[in-house]
């Protein structure tokens, strides 16, 4: 059974760096074609695509946030890490990670999400 | 890239059918048969209900169906039920070299 779970700080100060971890279970990020994406949702607003990392280490990012985002993976720990630099209150959101299966262009399993508030 | 365009809200009575549209460009919706739809109840994570324009994940009700014409994809829910009341988001693969996915702005479905 595939599960993902996000973890990290609930409160971050403006200008700091936010680091979130997505712990994976039930699949391996070494499987060809598999990816793990990050999506966020500000309170009361729409989903926003952030980026994805694939089994081969290839990364893709939202053009509007590309300069501030980094996604890495640690296959030995079976987790993926999202880093957001120089955060601002507008980065306050629930952050989700999701599984991209090897055969489909979609995100079929999602984590429960973690709410991060940016405030001084 | 810009988000895909969805109506802010739709509504319908129990038993009726509704359709939600999702409009993009030839670089995303129109260029690939990789449109997905997600259902999100308040406080919950999104749930995949349609992928590759019209395919349903195993076990999902056939009351949900998807289609596409040109740069516009559509989600139809037939036989509306109270539990269908939720937010619905479309998403598409995109040919942007810097990104792979784009989401719609979401549609709030109200079951009257």
Name the percent of chain B lying above pLDDT 70. 98
B43 dihedral zone (left: phi>0; alpha: psi -120 to 50; beta) = left
- If one compares B101 and A92, the residue with the highest pLDDT of the two is A92
State the average pLDDT for chain B: 95
Burial class (CB in 10 A: 0-12, 13-18, 19+), B101: buried
Q: Given this model, what pLDDT does residue A85 score?
A: 98
Residue of A60, A106, A112 lying closest to B48 (CB–CB): A106
Residue of A39, A96, A106 lying closest to B51 (CB–CB): A106
Calpha distance B65→B104 (Å, rounded) = 17
Which residue, chain included where needed, has tokens 């989401």?
B103
- Taking only the tens place, the pLDDT of each residue in A44-86 is 999 999 999 999 999 999 989 999 999 999 999 999 999 999 9
Distance from CA of B6 to the nearest CA of A (A): 11
- Taking only the tens place, the pLDDT of each residue in B61-78 is 999 999 999 999 999 999
Calpha distance A103→A109 (Å, rounded) = 14
- What DSSP string runs through B14-56? TT--EEEEEE--TTTTTT-S-EEEEEE-TTS--EEEEBTTTB-
Residue B83, helix vs strand vs coil: helix
Calpha distance A100→A108 (Å, rounded) = 6
In angstroms, how far is CA B102 from the centroid of its own chain? Answer: 12
Name the percent of chain A lying above pLDDT 90. 94
Region B22-46: mean pLDDT is: 96
Contact A96 B46 (CB under 8 A): yes
**H-helix or E-strand containing B12?**
strand B9-12
């Amino acid at each position: 059974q595939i599960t993902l779970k996000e973890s990290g700080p609930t409160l971050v100060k403006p200008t700091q760096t936010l680091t979130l971890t997505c712990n994976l279970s039930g699949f391996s990020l070494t499987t060809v074609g598999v990816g793990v994406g990050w999506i966020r949702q500000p309170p009361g607003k729409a989903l926003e695509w952030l980026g994805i990392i694939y089994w081969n280490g290839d990364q893709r990012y939202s053009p509007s946030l590309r300069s501030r985002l980094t996604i890495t993976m640690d296959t030995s720990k079976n987790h993926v890490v999202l880093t957001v630099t120089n955060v601002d209150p507008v980065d306050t959101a629930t952050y989700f990670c999701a599984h991209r299966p090897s055969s489909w262009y979609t995100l079929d399993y999602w984590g429960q999400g973690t709410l991060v508030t940016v405030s001084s | 890239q810009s988000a895909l365009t969805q109506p802010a809200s739709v509504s319908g009575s129990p038993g009726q059918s509704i359709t939600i549209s999702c409009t993009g460009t030839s670089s995303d919706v129109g260029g690939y048969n990789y449109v997905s739809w997600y259902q999100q109840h308040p406080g919950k994570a999104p749930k995949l209900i349609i992928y590759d324009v019209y395919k349903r994940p195993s076990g999902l009700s056939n009351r949900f169906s998807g289609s596409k014409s040109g740069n516009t994809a559509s989600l139809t829910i037939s036989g509306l039920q109270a539990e269908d009341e939720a937010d619905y988001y479309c998403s598409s693969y995109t040919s942007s070299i810097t990104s792979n996915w784009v989401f719609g702005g979401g549609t709030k479905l109200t079951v009257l």
